[in-house]
Amino acid sequence: MGGVDELSTRTAAALYKVINKKGVIPVSNAMTAEAVKVFEGIYRDVNIALANQLALVCEELGIDAVEVFSVANTQPYSHLHMPGCGVGGHCIPVYPYFIMKTVRSDTSLLELSRKIYDSMPQHVVSTLMKMLRSTGVKRPKVLVLGLTFRGGVRETRYSPALKIVELLNEEGVDVYAYDPLLGKEEVERCARARYMPPDAFDGDAVLIAADHQEFKRLDWSSLGRRMRNKIVVDGRQVVDVKALRRMGFKCTRVGMPCF
């Protein structure tokens, strides 16, 4: 942390040492302290964007990005993140713009990362629609699992799930949604979708848009028996794709070829 002068820095550090067991790292000034926080978020932003772009490369090459990344990360200098349908919340999607809108320096890498993120909801929806078209169903029913921007966090700001719901509506499908952290009224207020818990869904496809722990414990066997077409697109690396395929699901995830 840093203050506007040495005295303010020492005063704030003394206060935070009382409430923060991990301690305080003083820096030169307030601008430096702000840059530390913003740059840390931008680092994650750029590296997740890299993971997403490489995941799309893996889909085209017909290989599994999770397998590739996991083995690559056995090297001490490789820290590839897991790909997904996008990022949200009030930090990572916002911090890059603090820099891009403030400085005259080249920020093209940050801009490209944002462009990649903006494309991910469309990518997972396109993947799902391709799978649905193969069924011949005229107006498919799709359940979006998760509306918050990440698992275990009750926050929908900039959540890619909301864009996914919007795109599905544009495709003319019947969209249903469920989030274990949101009630029926909240779900239907923040997304143009009807509330539907997974244990009552009997439609065509499930798209996982948030990595809630509850989704890892779903009874997929029971859900599959109710579904008309057993299609699952995992946008958050939640399910065991191979296990669901053995159960008769047409299942894929970001970074994996459909079939």
One DSSP character per residue, 240-254 reads -HHHHHHTT-EEEET
Say whether 22 sits in a helix, a strand or coil: coil
Beta bridge partners of 231: 205, 250
Structure confidence at residue 2 (pLDDT): 65
Average pLDDT, integer, range 249-253: 96
229 or 26, greater pLDDT? 229
Q: What is the largest CA-CA distance in the chain?
A: 70
Angstrom distance (rounded) from CA 208 to CA 124: 10
Give whole-number Cα distances, 189 to 38, 59, 212, 218, in Å.
31, 35, 20, 25
Q: What is the pTM of this model?
A: 0.90
Confidence of residue 257 (pLDDT cuts 50, 70, 90): confident
> pLDDT at residue 227 above 80?
yes
Q: What is the set of domains in the chain, with CATH numbers?
A: 6-114 (3.40.50.720), 119-253 (3.40.50.720)
pLDDT digits (tens, 9 = 90+) for 92-113: 889 999 999 999 999 999 999 9
Residue 74 vs residues 18, 53, 55, 227: alpha-carbon distances, Å: 39, 20, 18, 39
Three-state SS at 208: strand
- Would you place residue 185 in the very low, low, confident or very high pLDDT band (cuts 50, 70, 90)? very high
The answer to whether residue 244 scores a pLDDT higher than 90 is yes
Asked if 59 and 255 touch (Cβ cutoff 8 Å), the reply is: yes
- Catalytic residues, which ones? 37, 91
| Mean pLDDT (the chain, rounded) | 92
> Among residues 89, 145, 158, which one has the least CA distance to residue 118?
158
Task: Give the mean model confidence (pLDDT) for residues 77-97.
Answer: 90
Residues 6+ apart with CB under 8 A from 56: 123, 255
